[in-house]
Amino acid sequence: MPDTQPANVAVKVRFHAPPPSLQACFTTFYLTEIDVPPGEQVTDALQPEWANLRFFSGERPCSWIDGGDRVEDARFVGTGPSSRATNFRLGPTRFWGIGLMPLGWARFIGLPAGDHANLIADGDRHDSFARFRPLADSLTLRPEDEAEELARIIAFFEAIPPIDPEEEARILAIHAALVDPEVGTVAGMVERVDTSQRTVERLCLRHFGFPPKLLLRRQRFMRSLAQFMLDRSLKWIGAIDQHYHDQAQFVRDFREFMGMSPRQYAAMPHPVLERFMYERARVHGAAVQTLDVPAGAITPTD
């Protein structure tokens, strides 16, 4: 990622909460506008997150994971759950973003999330995202169409039937345990969900994309990173999550999840992500989607 960025980068984002019928499936629906001077591009990196669908109008992004997938010139980009940074470079653009929680992945995609971990794909070419192409076709992303398109997005997803209620309850219970800062071990998650460790591991791989141990590590890392990004006065030592044994352990996680040291990351400009996170925290309550608490979470009986 370059150290220099365009002098003037304007980022506007509007978050729309899903209706009650879909709240457990999505983080948010968000419409983002990015404006940079003519002929220039901005570069930034998304942190590890849940799966997303993004529909673009204007300049299309170049997106990549170091050593992994790369997508260019796609009007519809689909991603799986990630445990690594997703880099992007783009010019002036406008896009709808849809964040899929694990229950949303189970209901609307229904394929093993572990097979799509750290995936970036052209949604018009990858079979796993084929059902969303008619939605992509219907979106103009004109400013005057925002309310109508939001209603169209909601109607599209409401028309897809829910999954088995028992499976839904298990997914929500695991998700609720995962986002609880007091749960720091797989044993603690298993106890909270009140089912077998084998079941927790199976469901995590199928619907969350990763084994429970990695999910918990990602969670403590994201709590730390979000805290730092929202309040730089803390410095890293003040932002580190309670479940870290020491700073060295945090640095190891940082290198694994972001591909660089905390010092390198802090020294880089983040013209898109910083503004997005501040606005998300202000409007939605959580700066990043991995910290969103799933609506309607209950503990199932085993």
Residues 159-193: pLDDT tens digits?
Answer: 999 999 999 999 999 999 999 999 999 999 999 99
| Bridge partner list, 51 | 100
Of 249, 44, 224, 210, give the one whose Cα is nearest residue 112: 210
pLDDT in tens, 217-257: 999 999 999 988 888 777 787 888 888 888 899 999 999 99
Length of the chain: 302
Start-to-end CA span in the chain (Å)? 47
What proportion of the chain, given as a percentage, has pLDDT over 70? Answer: 96
- Go through the domains of the chain in sequence order and give each one's CATH number: 10-158 (2.60.120.10), 165-291 (1.10.10)
Residue 18 and residue 26 in contact, taking contact as beta carbons nearer than 8 Å: yes
- pTM for this entry: 0.93
> Which residues, in sequence order, are bridge partners of residue 44?
88
Q: Give the residue from 105, 84, 99, 85 showing the smallest Cα distance to 205.
A: 105
